Each structure stands twice: as C-alpha cells, then as structure tokens.
Amino acid sequence: MNSLIVRRILRGEVASAARLMRDLDDEIPSARAALRELYARAGRAHIIGITGPPGAGKSTLADRLVEAARKAGKAVGVVAVDPTSPFSGGAVLGDRIRMQRHATDEKVFIRSLAARGSVGGLSRSVFDTVTMLDAMGKDLIILETAGVGQDGVKVAGAAHTVLVVMSPGQGDDVQALKAGILEIGDIYVINKCDHKDSEQLARSLGLALEGAAPRDGWTTPILKTEALSGKGTAELLKVVYEHRRALDGAGAWERRSLNMARSAFMELLETGLRGFINEECEHGAECRKLFGALASRKTDPYSAAKTTLRKLLKKSPPAPLSKRGDNPSFRKGGRRGI
C-alpha cells in the first residue's frame, strides 16, 4: 500500500521529503500514515548527536562533518534544533546560513527546527525528520542540539553516537559538567583547539572522565578539532565510524536503536497525555468544580491532582505523585511516596 509519496521518498527525492515535512506540520492525516510506512522501512542510518554549550562551535563542526562525509560519498541528513531559550539564540541564524553551502548538494538534507515553546525540544518533529531522512537512505544523520535545558541530555536517547563538544575559554567548569553530561558522551570533542586554554580543558576533562568504565566495548576518547579551519574533523569522522564498529561488535547497535524508538514512544505518550489533560480541563465540568475548590482553598493542588488521576486512569496509579519520574535530584531518602 505504498503511496506515491512514500515511494518517492524511499528513492531519496528531496522535493517529496520537503512536502511530507510540510504536511506533517499541517497535521494532514495521510502524511502521518506515510510516515508510519517510512518508519517500517527505516533503521539503517547512523544517527550522530552533537551537543554542548552555546558557542562551542557545534554547527561549524556539523558542517565540517557533512563535508568530510560527502567526500567519502556518504549521503547525509542534518537536523538542527535551535535553543529553547527565549533569550539567547543570537548566533544561531548565522550558523545555519553557514551550513547552507551544502544546500545545493542533493545528497545533503538540512532541516532546522525551532524548539521554542516545545517541552524538551527534541520532540516529535525531530523524530519525524530523522525517520524520514533514514528512510530516504541517508547514511549519516547529524542531530545537532543546543545544550540548553534538557535537550543536551535527551540527545543521548536519540542517537547511536553522541558527541559532546566543548571549547576553551568559555568559563565552563568541568565540575559543573559532571552532572549528566559526562555520562552521555561517546566522543568528547575539544573544539577551537588552537586556543591557548585548550590543553587545560583537555586535562580537566580527562580527569573528569578518568576511571569511567568502557561502555559497549568503547572507551570514551577526547579529540581536538578546529572546526573553523577543518582541522581534526576528518579524524573525528573516522572515530565516529570506529564507534559504530565497536557498537556492532558489542551487539549494542540494535539496543541503541531500540532505545531511540522507546524514547520517542515515551515522549509521544507524554505529549498525548498532556493534550488529554488540557482538553479535559478546558471543557470538563468536573475540572471547573475542582478549580472552584482550589480558589477557596477547600482543596489543594496535590489532592486535586490525585483525585483527577484516579478519575482519568483505568488502573489506580501507584504512588502517583511521588517524586519518582519528576526530579531525581530532589530525592534524597526512601521511596515512601504519598
């Protein structure tokens, strides 16, 4: 039952892919069905996540990786997620424009997504785009995401190989990075390595990573690049390939692919539930009654949420408002729940 647009995208036709993306944005049901067909046919691309603090040079590095991969004859897709911050974002447009030098290369497909307003940022549209690029036959898909909020961490569940990019002289305290970011990288990249403080950063990072157990048969390397001039970027791509071989060797490739599908599933589920709650509370009479009780402080938000959960869910939720699933850093004691 492959529709025409699906066949065209499977052949790698850019115009059809662009149309599908537009139709998905417009929430046209047939587009959703087409994506489902594409999903069944996807699963071959090597997905490379790039994360790191603003200004580390992620976009420039992505651009260089595209260049190196194209030289080796690979088809490449790029998904760039803008910072979620309503404040920063100044340099982003310039970076995108820089990457446009690949725009005339039909083997390169670049899509920028604004994460603004989205919860998590790396959400549904990223998943859609990656699925489509994968089905188009891209060998590599680069997923570039600003290391703001949860995005930097979420990229770990959305890629086979995670590059964490840092640069010297940004005042990044490696200590501060320890929380989270030192666990997600498969390859650490010190960009702007011609900067005088790059050795210092490499040393601190090396110390911070010291003693970490190899994961999936892979010991995390620290590489140096100067993306602006292209220095070290071809070597970086080689190490990315090595990581793939290590994953294959350790039988971890499939597990990471499944993990990506699972992350997407969990996120879609949350989105669906959120939409459901909003719908209920906009139109439901019960919710209005509840809000009245809240206004008079006859009930409190906790009790109200508990009652509502019981009403919405078929099964009774197990300690639904325990901090589990919320913020692990707040959980100091046992799991007694409420």
- Please select the residue that binds a second copy; options are 72, 97, 103, 119, rule is CB under 8 A: 119
Instruction: Indicate whether 270 belongs to the interface with a second copy (CB under 8 A).
Output: yes
- In the complex, minimum distance from the CB of residue 23 to a second copy, in angstroms, rounded to a whole number: 9
Contacts (CB under 8 A) with a second copy, residues 163-202: 171-173, 176-177, 179-181
- Distance of CA 56 to CAs 142, 168, 295, 319, Å? 16, 8, 47, 42
212 binds a second copy (CB under 8 A): no
Q: b/e for 230-243, b at 16 or more Cβ within 10 A?
A: eebbbebbebbeeb
Rule CB under 8 A: is residue 40 a binding residue for a second copy? yes
The C-alpha atoms of residue 181 and residue 157 are separated, in whole angstroms, by 13
Nearest 5°: phi and psi at 126?
-65, -50
Closest CA to 192 of 235, 152, 232, 238: 232
Give whichever of 13 and 322 is closer to a second copy, judged by the CB atom.
322
The stretch near a second copy (CB under 8 A) out of 47-55, 96-104, 197-205, 212-220 is 47-55
Q: How far apart are the first and last CA of the chain?
A: 50
Tell me the closest approach of the beta carbon of residue 105 to a second copy, in angstroms: 26
The one-letter amino acid code at 162 reads: V
Of 87, 210, 211, 285, the one binding a second copy (CB under 8 A) is 87
Number of residues counted as binding a second copy (CB under 8 A)? 111
Contact of 58 with 65, CB cutoff 8 Å: no
Instruction: Determine phi and psi for 78, rounding to 5 degrees.
Output: -130, 130
Binding flag, residue 104, a second copy (CB under 8 A): no
Residue of 25, 106, 199, 235 that binds a second copy (CB under 8 A): 25
What residues from 55 to 74 belong to the interface with a second copy (CB under 8 A)? none
